[in-house]
Amino acid sequence: MQTTLIINLVLLVICVPITVYVCFRATRVIVHGILTYMFPQKIITVTLKGPNGTVKKQFSVSSNQELVQAILEDRVVDNETR
């Protein structure tokens, strides 16, 4: 009886933290997947006509503010397309 109690306590001390950790990680992965599916990252394609022809560029932005910042910092139009 004493041995069974010790074995149960040892298993409890070892298995509970592992189970909690695995469940926490699984929940985190599932929630991240659901949020990524519901709110995907925005990909914006910009088509520019320049002397070298038509150039398409894709930008991956997470908000409209990030797109405005990319335009203001002149990352959308480079020297080749001007």
Q: Which residue has the higher pLDDT, 82 or 71?
A: 71
Q: Please indicate, yes or no, whether residues 3 and 24 belong to a single structural domain of this protein.
A: yes
Q: Which amino acid appears at position 56 of this protein?
A: K
The answer to whether residue 82 is domain-embedded is no
Residues 6 and 35 in one domain: yes
Residue 50: the pLDDT is: 66
- Tell me how far apart the 2 most distant CA atoms of the chain are, in Å: 88
Residue 66 lies in a domain: yes
Would residue 81 count as lying in a domain?
A: no
Total tally of structural domains belonging to the chain: 2
**Same domain, yes or no, for 28 and 56?**
no
| pLDDT 10s digits, 11-69 | 999 999 999 999 999 998 898 888 778 877 677 777 766 677 777 777 677 766 776 77
Between 18 and 76, residue with greater pLDDT: 18
Task: Provide CB contacts within 8 A for 70, sequence distance 6+.
Answer: 59, 61, 76
Range of the domain at 60: 42-76
DSSP label at residue 79: G
Q: How many Cα neighbours within 13 Å face the side chain of 44?
A: 13
User: In this structure, how many other beta carbons lie within 10 angstroms of the beta carbon of residue 46?
Assistant: 15
Same domain, 17 and 4: yes
pTM confidence score:
0.44
